[in-house]
Structure 1
Amino acid sequence: MSQIVTEREAPGALPASPAEWQACAAHLQARQAENDAERARLARQREALALAAATGDGRAQKRVQMLAGRDQALALDAMNIAQGLAHAEIAIARSVADRAGFERQEAVRRHQVMLESRLSLIAEIELVLRSMPPLLVQLAEATRLIEESHLALGGERPTLPPLAQEAAGGRLAEFMTGIGFAAWLPLARPEIRPAIQSWTEAERAAQASYALPA
Protein backbone atom coordinates (compact mmCIF):
# COMPACT_ATOMS: atom_id res chain seq x y z
CA MET A 1 0.00 0.00 0.00
CA SER A 2 1.27 3.52 -0.75
CA GLN A 3 2.07 6.09 1.87
CA ILE A 4 -1.16 7.87 2.94
CA VAL A 5 -0.64 11.57 3.64
CA THR A 6 -3.18 14.13 4.79
CA GLU A 7 -2.63 17.84 5.20
CA ARG A 8 -2.33 17.48 8.98
CA GLU A 9 -0.15 14.36 9.06
CA ALA A 10 3.56 13.86 8.76
CA PRO A 11 4.73 11.57 5.92
CA GLY A 12 4.25 7.95 6.86
CA ALA A 13 1.79 8.66 9.68
CA LEU A 14 -1.52 6.79 9.48
CA PRO A 15 -4.81 8.28 10.66
CA ALA A 16 -5.59 7.45 14.28
CA SER A 17 -9.28 8.33 14.55
CA PRO A 18 -12.47 7.97 12.48
CA ALA A 19 -12.41 11.71 11.73
CA GLU A 20 -8.82 11.48 10.47
CA TRP A 21 -9.72 8.48 8.28
CA GLN A 22 -12.61 10.48 6.83
CA ALA A 23 -10.25 13.38 6.09
CA CYS A 24 -7.72 10.96 4.60
CA ALA A 25 -10.36 9.41 2.31
CA ALA A 26 -11.52 12.86 1.16
CA HIS A 27 -7.93 13.84 0.43
CA LEU A 28 -7.32 10.66 -1.59
CA GLN A 29 -10.57 11.10 -3.51
CA ALA A 30 -9.49 14.61 -4.47
CA ARG A 31 -6.09 13.30 -5.61
CA GLN A 32 -7.81 10.53 -7.56
CA ALA A 33 -9.97 13.08 -9.39
CA GLU A 34 -6.90 15.21 -10.17
CA ASN A 35 -5.05 12.14 -11.43
CA ASP A 36 -7.93 11.13 -13.69
CA ALA A 37 -8.19 14.64 -15.09
CA GLU A 38 -4.43 14.81 -15.76
CA ARG A 39 -4.38 11.41 -17.49
CA ALA A 40 -7.32 12.46 -19.65
CA ARG A 41 -5.43 15.62 -20.65
CA LEU A 42 -2.30 13.61 -21.50
CA ALA A 43 -4.36 11.19 -23.56
CA ARG A 44 -5.74 14.08 -25.63
CA GLN A 45 -2.21 15.44 -26.20
CA ARG A 46 -0.92 12.02 -27.29
CA GLU A 47 -3.85 11.62 -29.64
CA ALA A 48 -3.07 15.00 -31.20
CA LEU A 49 0.57 13.96 -31.77
CA ALA A 50 -0.15 10.38 -32.88
CA LEU A 51 -0.20 11.06 -36.62
CA ALA A 52 2.98 13.17 -36.62
CA ALA A 53 4.84 10.62 -34.49
CA ALA A 54 3.66 7.76 -36.70
CA THR A 55 4.96 9.54 -39.85
CA GLY A 56 8.46 10.01 -38.44
CA ASP A 57 8.33 13.44 -36.82
CA GLY A 58 11.16 13.16 -34.27
CA ARG A 59 9.97 16.00 -32.08
CA ALA A 60 6.48 14.52 -31.99
CA GLN A 61 7.92 11.10 -31.16
CA LYS A 62 9.96 12.51 -28.26
CA ARG A 63 6.93 14.40 -27.02
CA VAL A 64 4.79 11.25 -27.17
CA GLN A 65 7.47 9.32 -25.27
CA MET A 66 7.55 12.01 -22.59
CA LEU A 67 3.78 11.99 -22.32
CA ALA A 68 3.79 8.18 -22.10
CA GLY A 69 6.32 8.31 -19.27
CA ARG A 70 4.22 10.86 -17.45
CA ASP A 71 1.12 8.73 -17.97
CA GLN A 72 2.94 5.66 -16.64
CA ALA A 73 3.89 7.57 -13.49
CA LEU A 74 0.31 8.77 -13.09
CA ALA A 75 -0.97 5.20 -13.58
CA LEU A 76 1.29 3.98 -10.75
CA ASP A 77 0.14 6.88 -8.61
CA ALA A 78 -3.48 6.04 -9.44
CA MET A 79 -2.93 2.45 -8.31
CA ASN A 80 -1.39 3.64 -5.04
CA ILE A 81 -4.23 6.09 -4.49
CA ALA A 82 -6.83 3.38 -5.17
CA GLN A 83 -5.16 1.01 -2.71
CA GLY A 84 -4.86 3.73 -0.09
CA LEU A 85 -8.49 4.72 -0.61
CA ALA A 86 -9.58 1.09 -0.25
CA HIS A 87 -7.64 0.88 3.01
CA ALA A 88 -9.26 4.09 4.25
CA GLU A 89 -12.74 2.89 3.31
CA ILE A 90 -12.16 -0.38 5.19
CA ALA A 91 -11.01 1.56 8.25
CA ILE A 92 -14.05 3.88 8.01
CA ALA A 93 -16.43 0.93 7.64
CA ARG A 94 -14.81 -0.76 10.63
CA SER A 95 -15.14 2.39 12.74
CA VAL A 96 -18.80 2.73 11.70
CA ALA A 97 -19.42 -0.92 12.63
CA ASP A 98 -17.58 -0.47 15.93
CA ARG A 99 -19.64 2.63 16.69
CA ALA A 100 -22.87 0.82 15.81
CA GLY A 101 -21.84 -2.08 18.02
CA PHE A 102 -21.04 0.26 20.90
CA GLU A 103 -24.34 2.10 20.49
CA ARG A 104 -26.22 -1.21 20.48
CA GLN A 105 -24.39 -2.31 23.62
CA GLU A 106 -25.41 0.95 25.29
CA ALA A 107 -29.01 0.55 24.10
CA VAL A 108 -29.09 -3.04 25.40
CA ARG A 109 -27.64 -1.87 28.72
CA ARG A 110 -30.30 0.83 29.03
CA HIS A 111 -32.96 -1.75 28.10
CA GLN A 112 -31.69 -4.10 30.80
CA VAL A 113 -31.76 -1.26 33.35
CA MET A 114 -35.41 -0.63 32.44
CA LEU A 115 -36.21 -4.33 32.89
CA GLU A 116 -34.49 -4.41 36.27
CA SER A 117 -36.25 -1.20 37.32
CA ARG A 118 -39.62 -2.68 36.37
CA LEU A 119 -38.84 -5.85 38.32
CA SER A 120 -37.91 -3.76 41.37
CA LEU A 121 -41.22 -1.93 41.07
CA ILE A 122 -43.09 -5.24 40.85
CA ALA A 123 -41.27 -6.43 43.98
CA GLU A 124 -42.27 -3.23 45.78
CA ILE A 125 -45.93 -3.68 44.75
CA GLU A 126 -45.80 -7.33 45.80
CA LEU A 127 -44.50 -6.33 49.22
CA VAL A 128 -47.38 -3.87 49.66
CA LEU A 129 -49.96 -6.44 48.52
CA ARG A 130 -48.57 -9.11 50.85
CA SER A 131 -49.10 -6.70 53.74
CA MET A 132 -52.83 -6.44 52.97
CA PRO A 133 -54.22 -9.95 53.80
CA PRO A 134 -53.24 -9.70 57.50
CA LEU A 135 -54.97 -6.31 57.62
CA LEU A 136 -58.10 -7.81 56.04
CA VAL A 137 -58.05 -10.54 58.68
CA GLN A 138 -57.98 -7.79 61.31
CA LEU A 139 -60.86 -6.08 59.49
CA ALA A 140 -62.94 -9.26 59.57
CA GLU A 141 -62.30 -9.65 63.29
CA ALA A 142 -63.20 -6.01 63.93
CA THR A 143 -66.42 -6.53 61.99
CA ARG A 144 -67.31 -9.61 64.02
CA LEU A 145 -66.78 -7.76 67.29
CA ILE A 146 -68.88 -4.80 66.13
CA GLU A 147 -71.70 -7.11 65.02
CA GLU A 148 -71.70 -8.87 68.41
CA SER A 149 -71.55 -5.59 70.34
CA HIS A 150 -74.31 -4.06 68.22
CA LEU A 151 -76.66 -6.99 68.90
CA ALA A 152 -75.75 -7.08 72.59
CA LEU A 153 -76.65 -3.41 72.95
CA GLY A 154 -80.08 -3.94 71.43
CA GLY A 155 -79.34 -3.13 67.84
CA GLU A 156 -81.24 -4.92 65.11
CA ARG A 157 -79.41 -7.17 62.73
CA PRO A 158 -79.94 -5.81 59.19
CA THR A 159 -81.05 -8.15 56.43
CA LEU A 160 -77.99 -7.22 54.41
CA PRO A 161 -75.31 -6.29 56.95
CA PRO A 162 -73.41 -3.30 55.46
CA LEU A 163 -70.24 -4.22 57.33
CA ALA A 164 -70.25 -7.87 56.24
CA GLN A 165 -67.26 -9.13 54.31
CA GLU A 166 -69.18 -9.28 51.02
CA ALA A 167 -70.42 -5.70 51.32
CA ALA A 168 -67.05 -4.33 52.46
CA GLY A 169 -65.34 -6.30 49.71
CA GLY A 170 -67.69 -4.81 47.13
CA ARG A 171 -66.88 -1.31 48.31
CA LEU A 172 -63.17 -2.18 48.24
CA ALA A 173 -63.49 -3.39 44.63
CA GLU A 174 -65.28 -0.18 43.65
CA PHE A 175 -62.64 1.89 45.41
CA MET A 176 -59.86 -0.02 43.61
CA THR A 177 -61.69 0.64 40.32
CA GLY A 178 -61.75 4.35 41.10
CA ILE A 179 -58.02 4.61 41.79
CA GLY A 180 -56.85 2.78 38.69
CA PHE A 181 -56.77 -0.94 39.50
CA ALA A 182 -59.42 -1.67 36.86
CA ALA A 183 -56.77 -1.13 34.17
CA TRP A 184 -54.90 -4.14 35.61
CA LEU A 185 -57.50 -6.35 37.29
CA PRO A 186 -60.93 -7.65 36.19
CA LEU A 187 -62.83 -5.48 38.63
CA ALA A 188 -66.52 -4.62 38.34
CA ARG A 189 -67.08 -1.10 37.05
CA PRO A 190 -70.02 0.89 38.48
CA GLU A 191 -72.39 1.70 35.64
CA ILE A 192 -74.85 4.12 37.23
CA ARG A 193 -72.62 6.04 39.64
CA PRO A 194 -69.00 7.15 39.87
CA ALA A 195 -66.55 4.71 41.42
CA ILE A 196 -65.88 5.13 45.13
CA GLN A 197 -63.05 7.61 45.59
CA SER A 198 -62.46 6.97 49.33
CA TRP A 199 -62.93 3.58 50.94
CA THR A 200 -62.72 5.27 54.35
CA GLU A 201 -65.65 7.58 53.59
CA ALA A 202 -67.67 4.69 52.14
CA GLU A 203 -67.09 2.64 55.29
CA ARG A 204 -67.96 5.63 57.48
CA ALA A 205 -71.32 5.84 55.72
CA ALA A 206 -71.85 2.08 56.08
CA GLN A 207 -71.16 2.25 59.83
CA ALA A 208 -73.85 4.89 60.33
CA SER A 209 -76.54 2.19 60.60
CA TYR A 210 -74.67 0.69 63.56
CA ALA A 211 -74.76 3.88 65.60
CA LEU A 212 -76.61 3.51 68.91
CA PRO A 213 -78.04 6.11 71.26
CA ALA A 214 -76.28 6.52 74.59
Structure 2
Amino acid sequence: MKGATGNNMRQPTPRTLAEWRQCAAGLVSKQGEIEVERASLAGQRQELALAAATGDKQAQMRIAQVAVQEHALEFDRATIAEGLVRAGEEIAAGEARLATSARQQAVARHGDLLEKRLVLVEAIEQAVRSVAPQLTALAELTLEIEGSHAQLGGSRATLPPLAQENVGGRLAEFMAGQGFAAWLPLARPEVRPALGSWIAAEKDAQTHYRLTV
Protein backbone atom coordinates (compact mmCIF):
# COMPACT_ATOMS: atom_id res chain seq x y z
CA MET A 1 0.00 0.00 0.00
CA LYS A 2 1.31 3.42 -0.87
CA GLY A 3 0.93 6.29 1.55
CA ALA A 4 -2.74 6.30 2.57
CA THR A 5 -2.93 10.09 2.52
CA GLY A 6 -0.05 11.46 0.50
CA ASN A 7 -0.48 9.61 -2.76
CA ASN A 8 -4.23 9.86 -3.18
CA MET A 9 -5.91 12.56 -5.21
CA ARG A 10 -7.01 15.31 -2.87
CA GLN A 11 -10.71 15.14 -2.12
CA PRO A 12 -12.79 18.34 -1.80
CA THR A 13 -13.50 19.45 1.74
CA PRO A 14 -16.92 18.15 2.86
CA ARG A 15 -19.63 20.79 3.27
CA THR A 16 -22.76 18.98 4.39
CA LEU A 17 -23.36 16.71 7.36
CA ALA A 18 -23.85 13.75 5.03
CA GLU A 19 -20.51 14.48 3.33
CA TRP A 20 -18.73 14.71 6.68
CA ARG A 21 -20.23 11.37 7.74
CA GLN A 22 -19.12 9.84 4.46
CA CYS A 23 -15.66 11.34 4.96
CA ALA A 24 -15.41 9.87 8.48
CA ALA A 25 -16.48 6.46 7.22
CA GLY A 26 -13.82 6.62 4.52
CA LEU A 27 -11.12 7.52 7.06
CA VAL A 28 -12.16 4.65 9.31
CA SER A 29 -11.89 2.32 6.33
CA LYS A 30 -8.37 3.64 5.61
CA GLN A 31 -7.46 3.04 9.25
CA GLY A 32 -8.41 -0.59 8.80
CA GLU A 33 -6.32 -0.88 5.64
CA ILE A 34 -3.33 0.63 7.41
CA GLU A 35 -3.62 -1.81 10.31
CA VAL A 36 -3.71 -4.72 7.91
CA GLU A 37 -0.58 -3.46 6.10
CA ARG A 38 1.22 -2.73 9.39
CA ALA A 39 0.59 -6.32 10.48
CA SER A 40 1.90 -7.58 7.13
CA LEU A 41 5.09 -5.47 7.36
CA ALA A 42 5.67 -6.55 10.97
CA GLY A 43 5.45 -10.18 9.84
CA GLN A 44 7.97 -9.56 7.04
CA ARG A 45 10.35 -7.84 9.46
CA GLN A 46 10.20 -10.78 11.85
CA GLU A 47 10.90 -13.25 9.04
CA LEU A 48 13.93 -11.23 7.86
CA ALA A 49 15.29 -10.36 11.29
CA LEU A 50 17.56 -13.36 11.72
CA ALA A 51 19.01 -13.22 8.20
CA ALA A 52 19.61 -9.48 8.46
CA ALA A 53 21.23 -9.88 11.86
CA THR A 54 23.64 -12.49 10.48
CA GLY A 55 24.79 -10.27 7.63
CA ASP A 56 22.43 -11.09 4.76
CA LYS A 57 22.64 -7.93 2.65
CA GLN A 58 19.39 -8.56 0.78
CA ALA A 59 17.58 -9.17 4.06
CA GLN A 60 19.08 -5.98 5.49
CA MET A 61 17.99 -3.97 2.44
CA ARG A 62 14.48 -5.40 2.62
CA ILE A 63 14.19 -4.63 6.34
CA ALA A 64 15.31 -1.08 5.60
CA GLN A 65 12.55 -0.82 2.99
CA VAL A 66 10.03 -2.26 5.47
CA ALA A 67 11.13 0.35 8.02
CA VAL A 68 10.54 3.15 5.50
CA GLN A 69 7.09 1.77 4.70
CA GLU A 70 6.25 1.42 8.38
CA HIS A 71 7.33 5.00 9.01
CA ALA A 72 5.10 6.19 6.16
CA LEU A 73 2.21 4.18 7.56
CA GLU A 74 2.70 5.74 10.99
CA PHE A 75 2.59 9.18 9.40
CA ASP A 76 -0.59 8.26 7.52
CA ARG A 77 -2.02 6.75 10.69
CA ALA A 78 -1.45 9.96 12.64
CA THR A 79 -2.81 12.10 9.82
CA ILE A 80 -5.99 10.03 9.55
CA ALA A 81 -6.47 10.19 13.32
CA GLU A 82 -6.29 13.99 13.14
CA GLY A 83 -8.70 13.96 10.21
CA LEU A 84 -11.14 11.86 12.21
CA VAL A 85 -10.99 14.36 15.05
CA ARG A 86 -11.89 17.16 12.64
CA ALA A 87 -14.63 15.09 11.03
CA GLY A 88 -16.02 14.21 14.45
CA GLU A 89 -16.15 17.87 15.41
CA GLU A 90 -17.91 18.79 12.17
CA ILE A 91 -20.40 15.92 12.55
CA ALA A 92 -21.17 16.93 16.14
CA ALA A 93 -21.67 20.55 15.08
CA GLY A 94 -23.88 19.49 12.16
CA GLU A 95 -26.00 17.24 14.37
CA ALA A 96 -26.33 20.06 16.89
CA ARG A 97 -27.55 22.37 14.13
CA LEU A 98 -30.05 19.74 13.01
CA ALA A 99 -31.30 19.30 16.56
CA THR A 100 -31.63 23.08 16.97
CA SER A 101 -33.51 23.36 13.68
CA ALA A 102 -35.80 20.46 14.60
CA ARG A 103 -36.59 22.08 17.96
CA GLN A 104 -37.25 25.43 16.30
CA GLN A 105 -39.71 23.77 13.94
CA ALA A 106 -41.35 21.87 16.81
CA VAL A 107 -41.66 25.08 18.86
CA ALA A 108 -43.18 26.84 15.84
CA ARG A 109 -45.71 24.01 15.40
CA HIS A 110 -46.49 24.21 19.12
CA GLY A 111 -47.10 27.94 18.76
CA ASP A 112 -49.43 27.25 15.82
CA LEU A 113 -51.44 24.87 17.99
CA LEU A 114 -51.79 27.52 20.68
CA GLU A 115 -52.93 30.05 18.07
CA LYS A 116 -55.52 27.58 16.73
CA ARG A 117 -56.80 27.11 20.27
CA LEU A 118 -57.16 30.88 20.68
CA VAL A 119 -59.18 31.01 17.46
CA LEU A 120 -61.51 28.30 18.76
CA VAL A 121 -61.89 29.95 22.16
CA GLU A 122 -62.71 33.24 20.45
CA ALA A 123 -65.35 31.54 18.30
CA ILE A 124 -66.88 29.84 21.35
CA GLU A 125 -66.84 33.10 23.28
CA GLN A 126 -68.68 34.89 20.47
CA ALA A 127 -71.22 32.06 20.27
CA VAL A 128 -71.87 32.17 24.03
CA ARG A 129 -72.18 35.97 23.96
CA SER A 130 -74.72 35.68 21.15
CA VAL A 131 -76.79 33.15 23.13
CA ALA A 132 -77.05 35.27 26.30
CA PRO A 133 -79.38 37.93 24.78
CA GLN A 134 -81.53 35.15 23.32
CA LEU A 135 -81.95 33.61 26.78
CA THR A 136 -83.01 37.02 28.08
CA ALA A 137 -85.57 37.24 25.26
CA LEU A 138 -86.72 33.70 26.13
CA ALA A 139 -87.33 34.74 29.75
CA GLU A 140 -89.30 37.81 28.67
CA LEU A 141 -91.39 35.73 26.26
CA THR A 142 -92.08 33.23 29.05
CA LEU A 143 -93.53 35.99 31.23
CA GLU A 144 -95.80 37.04 28.38
CA ILE A 145 -96.94 33.46 27.83
CA GLU A 146 -97.58 32.92 31.55
CA GLY A 147 -99.62 36.14 31.71
CA SER A 148 -101.57 35.39 28.55
CA HIS A 149 -102.22 31.82 29.67
CA ALA A 150 -103.58 33.00 33.01
CA GLN A 151 -105.79 35.69 31.42
CA LEU A 152 -107.26 33.13 29.05
CA GLY A 153 -108.20 30.86 31.96
CA GLY A 154 -105.40 28.38 31.77
CA SER A 155 -104.64 26.43 34.93
CA ARG A 156 -101.38 27.16 36.68
CA ALA A 157 -99.15 24.21 37.47
CA THR A 158 -97.34 24.00 40.79
CA LEU A 159 -94.06 24.34 38.92
CA PRO A 160 -94.88 25.78 35.49
CA PRO A 161 -93.15 23.86 32.68
CA LEU A 162 -91.93 27.10 31.16
CA ALA A 163 -90.62 28.46 34.48
CA GLN A 164 -86.97 29.48 34.24
CA GLU A 165 -85.76 26.70 36.56
CA ASN A 166 -87.52 24.07 34.43
CA VAL A 167 -86.22 25.57 31.20
CA GLY A 168 -82.74 25.77 32.67
CA GLY A 169 -82.90 22.13 33.70
CA ARG A 170 -83.92 21.02 30.22
CA LEU A 171 -81.24 23.21 28.68
CA ALA A 172 -78.61 21.67 31.00
CA GLU A 173 -79.74 18.16 30.06
CA PHE A 174 -79.60 19.01 26.38
CA MET A 175 -76.13 20.56 26.73
CA ALA A 176 -74.96 17.48 28.63
CA GLY A 177 -76.11 15.33 25.73
CA GLN A 178 -74.11 17.53 23.33
CA GLY A 179 -70.86 16.96 25.22
CA PHE A 180 -70.84 20.06 27.43
CA ALA A 181 -70.78 17.91 30.59
CA ALA A 182 -67.11 17.25 29.92
CA TRP A 183 -66.47 20.99 30.26
CA LEU A 184 -69.17 22.38 32.55
CA PRO A 185 -70.58 21.14 35.89
CA LEU A 186 -73.98 20.33 34.43
CA ALA A 187 -76.24 18.49 36.84
CA ARG A 188 -78.79 16.16 35.27
CA PRO A 189 -80.67 13.01 36.32
CA GLU A 190 -78.64 9.90 35.61
CA VAL A 191 -81.69 7.64 35.47
CA ARG A 192 -82.54 8.76 31.94
CA PRO A 193 -80.52 9.67 28.86
CA ALA A 194 -79.62 13.29 28.23
CA LEU A 195 -82.02 15.20 26.03
CA GLY A 196 -81.31 14.71 22.35
CA SER A 197 -83.42 17.68 21.26
CA TRP A 198 -84.24 20.83 23.20
CA ILE A 199 -86.93 21.67 20.64
CA ALA A 200 -88.73 18.37 21.30
CA ALA A 201 -88.59 19.01 25.05
CA GLU A 202 -89.96 22.53 24.52
CA LYS A 203 -92.87 21.22 22.44
CA ASP A 204 -93.67 18.72 25.16
CA ALA A 205 -93.56 21.44 27.84
CA GLN A 206 -95.85 23.68 25.79
CA THR A 207 -98.67 21.11 25.80
CA HIS A 208 -99.63 22.44 29.25
CA TYR A 209 -100.21 25.87 27.72
CA ARG A 210 -102.20 24.84 24.67
CA LEU A 211 -105.73 26.26 24.74
CA THR A 212 -108.82 25.64 22.71
CA VAL A 213 -111.37 28.18 21.61
TM-score by length of 1: 0.91
Write the distance in 2 (CA, Å) between the matches of 1:33 and 1:106.
40
Give 1:176 deviation, angstroms.
0.6
Write the distance in 1 (CA, Å) between the matches of 2:196 and 2:52.
105
Amino acid at match of 1:144: L
Aligned to 1:117: 116
CA contact 2:169–2:188 (8 Å) conserved in 1: no
The CA RMSD measured in Å over matched residues stands at 1.9
Amino acid at match of 1:76: F
Moved more, 75-84 or 57-66: 57-66
Q: Percent identity?
A: 53
Aligned to 1:137: 136
Write the distance in 2 (CA, Å) between the matches of 1:188 and 1:4.
81
Write the distance in 1 (CA, Å) between the matches of 2:189 and 2:19.
68
Other structure's SS at 1:157 match: coil
Other structure's SS at 2:15 match: coil
Other structure's SS at 2:48 match: helix
Gaps of 5+ in 2: none
Offset from partner CA, 1:47-71 (integer Å, 9 cap, x none) = 1222222233332222211111110
CA contact 1:178–1:197 (8 Å) conserved in 2: yes
Write the distance in 2 (CA, Å) between the matches of 1:125 and 1:16.
51
Amino acid at match of 2:49: A
Amino acid at match of 1:69: V
CA contact 1:15–1:24 (8 Å) conserved in 2: yes
Give 1:154 deviation, angstroms.
1.2
Amino acid at match of 1:33: G
Deviation >6 Å, runs of 4+: none
Q: How many residues align?
A: 209
Q: Does 1:194 align with 2:193?
A: yes
Offset from partner CA, 1:60-92 (integer Å, 9 cap, x none) = 222211111110011101111111122112212
Write the distance in 1 (CA, Å) between the matches of 2:56 and 2:107.
74
Aligned to 1:170: 169
Write the distance in 2 (CA, Å) between the matches of 1:154 and 1:176.
34
CA contact 2:150–2:156 (8 Å) conserved in 1: yes
Other structure's SS at 1:79 match: helix
Moved more, 141-150 or 56-65: 56-65
- Provide closer, same or farther for how the CA distance between residues 4 and 122 of structure 1 changes in structure 2, counting only shifts above 3 A: farther
CA contact 2:174–2:194 (8 Å) conserved in 1: yes
Other structure's SS at 2:154 match: coil
- Provide closer, same or farther for how the CA distance between residues 109 and 151 of structure 1 changes in structure 2, counting only shifts above 3 A: same
Give 1:174 deviation, angstroms.
0.6
Write the distance in 2 (CA, Å) between the matches of 1:77 and 1:192.
86
Offset from partner CA, 1:120-160 (integer Å, 9 cap, x none) = 11111111112222111111100001111111111122111
Aligned to 2:147: 148
Amino acid at match of 2:193: P
Give 1:12 deviation, angstroms.
5.4
Q: Does 1:71 align with 2:101?
A: no
Amino acid at match of 1:194: P
Write the distance in 1 (CA, Å) between the matches of 2:201 and 2:5.
83
Moved more, 45-54 or 110-119: 45-54
CA contact 1:171–1:202 (8 Å) conserved in 2: yes
Other structure's SS at 1:102 match: helix
CA contact 1:4–1:24 (8 Å) conserved in 2: no
